[in-house]
Amino acid sequence: MPSDRAPDSLVSAWQEQPTSGFRPVPADFAKKIRRDVRASRWGFWIFLALFAVMAIWAGANLLAEADPLRRVGHVLAILSVVFFIGQILVLRRRVRAVRFDILRTTSPSLAAARAYLVTRRAFHRGRWLWWRIIVIFPVVPILGYGTLRNEPDAIPRFLWGVMVPWVALIVFAVSIVQRGAARAYERLLRELDDIERHSPIERFMASHEQWKERQGD
């Protein structure tokens, strides 16, 4: 005969669940997220300084350049730097929405940790990544061809001296650096999924469903 009393496991899970909608992550996972947030903040300023130097260099070369094709290359270089900075500023604005919860609270919430990781993963793959490649890729070929196009033996030197290293660098940046970062955030998201599955409220819901099934027998 089924009992109307909830099982001890259900009562225990109920007592352990958070009293509000705030659901914190464990301390060790919180350390990983905070370390990444702090590193990304330093990375923002480092990349901003690097892109500023690149923009100044491209602007100075544009003013000094007489060749029309190479001037186009320098203009594309400036536009690509501006595009990169724009992407980083958008990323910073999206991360800022959850950064306070991650850095200043006793323990970040599951929702804040997930929002941060999803945003960072998106930056390193998909449309964010491929737009960066589309914008930056033509710069080096145009500058290299602008330099060598008037020389009779320039094509082999252009292909092996400019295009092969440039394509290899792009492949390395995409497959190792960017995809590697995306996979790292994907691993953290899977770890967060495991944490969420084993949180008290999830265990309560699972126990509640099992209890209802037993009541129906």
pLDDT, tens digit (0-9, with 9 covering 90-100), for 128-143 = 899 999 999 999 888 8
- Helices and strands (H and E) in the chain: how many: 10, 0
Query: Is 197 inside a domain boundary?
Result: no
Query: Is 48 inside a domain boundary?
Result: yes
CA–CA dist 96, 69 (Å, integer): 41
3 state DSSP class of 46: helix
Query: Is 5 inside a domain boundary?
Result: no
Q: Is the pLDDT of residue 180 over 80?
A: yes
How deeply is 200 buried, as exposed, middle or buried, from its count of CB atoms within 10 A (0-12, 13-18, 19+)?
middle
Query: Is 157 inside a domain boundary?
Result: yes
Model confidence, pTM = 0.72
Domain that residue 148 falls in: 24-185
Q: Is the pLDDT of residue 4 over 60?
A: no
CB 87 within 8 A of CB 123: yes
Write the CA distances from 79 to 15, 74, 88, 205, integer angstroms: 57, 9, 14, 52
With bands split at pLDDT 50, 70 and 90, how would you rate the model's confidence at 71? very high
Query: Is 54 inside a domain boundary?
Result: yes
Write the CA distances from 212 to 6, 34, 217, integer angstroms: 9, 40, 9
Return the number of other C-beta atoms located less than 10 Å from residue 169's C-beta.
11
Among 203, 67, 189, which Cα is nearest to 124's?
189
Query: Is 34 inside a domain boundary?
Result: yes
Mean pLDDT of 23-51: 86
Query: Is 6 inside a domain boundary?
Result: no
Write the CA distances from 64 to 70, 112, 122, 145, 188, integer angstroms: 11, 49, 38, 18, 48
The predicted pLDDT at position 121 comes to: 93
Query: Is 109 inside a domain boundary?
Result: yes
CA–CA dist 182, 215 (Å, integer): 46
- Please provide the average confidence, as pLDDT, over all residues in the chain: 80
Rg (CA), the chain: 26
Number of structural domains found in the chain:
1
pLDDT, tens digit (0-9, with 9 covering 90-100), for 100-131 = 778 876 678 888 888 899 999 999 988 889 99
